[in-house]
Chain A
């Protein structure tokens, strides 16, 4: 899911950089500074989860966790994911520094979209909490795949082919991510409901 160095055109990287900057600025403005430890924990979870692979048949996949980061942080997902991606690029050469803006938008924007679409659902009805969280986890990976396809389209001009390839390759990740997010949200609602921004302390 991370775009490497030298893949994207200058214009795409510039647009990605501007969008990432704008998203991060909104995130820093909306962030609840009394909940900075949540931001740190979720940024760390994103940082670590992307490095852990699960062997799946002949291939291996890794979690992204942008769905749960979005559900729990809202717009603060932008600075949290930006920081984690920057450290991954520096420490592990995972994705490119010049593609950092695009990679941030690809993973953080779906997180924010899921926050608005699915965020209000967990907790309202215990019956549907898992389903809602599953949709957030799987949906955020699916949207990220679409974002990746869009970024590559402006370089390779074969959006449909690239998007289908990315979606197909990430289908197992979507399912695993949905299940992981479902369990995490259900678990957190039981043991620590105030971690959810809509639990009352969001600005």
Chain B
């Protein structure tokens, strides 16, 4: 049966074969997406986010749709000297008071095992801000947090797929021209 189909295809032009390929590939993609079943949760980038509020540093570590449980947190200063370390809780949170002897920015490093790492920098001004400035920086931090937690847009997904097809199309055209030049 397969041989019969293949012999039928041999007589067709490239366009027809591409069309057939598209049909089969589309079937594959649709099938995979159907198999996913329930509404999917998007994004899997690992990240750690930190902000300062009322003398405390709050951190949240996440894979996007899942908090990082028991992730190792290291806080280092700008000379890479360890300030403190700890682990995230079940909600991916790890909090600590602003160190009294802050003289530089702090880098909060997350190791979520299996090759997943991320870091977040808190500037000295963020750590030492008070009053209205602290409120303003907190507001900015929350905006950044929302941006970090944002799910990938459908536009970005569609753009990625479009780029893949564009690259394959260009490669296909180049190869076709090369074949024509070689007779």
Binding site for B on A (CB under 8 A): 1-8, 33-45, 47-55, 59-60, 62-63, 65, 68, 83-84, 87-88, 91-94, 99, 123, 148, 151-152, 162, 165-166, 169, 180, 183-184, 187-188, 191-195, 199-201
Contact of B1 among A1, A187, A193 (CB under 8 A): A193
Contact of B164 among A47, A93, A94, A165 (CB under 8 A): A47
Residues in A neighbouring B117, C-beta threshold 8 A: 4-7
- Known interface pairs A54-B38, A200-B3; A37-B66 also in contact (CB < 8 Å): no
Residues in A neighbouring B156, C-beta threshold 8 A: 91-92
Residue in chain A with minimal CB distance to B111? A7
Asked whether B9 is an interface residue with its Cβ less than 8 Å from the other chain, the reply is yes
* A-B contact number at CB 8 A: 178
Task: Check A92–B43 contact: CB distance below 8 A.
Answer: yes
Minimum distance in angstroms from B96 CB to a CB of chain A: 23
Residues in B neighbouring A188, C-beta threshold 8 A: 24, 27-28
B interface size (C-beta, 8 A): 59
Residues in A neighbouring B24, C-beta threshold 8 A: 38, 41, 188, 191-192, 194-195
- Contacts beyond the supplied A91-B159, A92-B152: 14 A-B pairs with Cβ under 8 Å: A37-B22, A40-B164, A40-B169, A43-B168, A49-B32, A51-B42, A52-B33, A54-B36, A59-B66, A91-B160, A162-B114, A188-B24, A188-B27, A191-B27
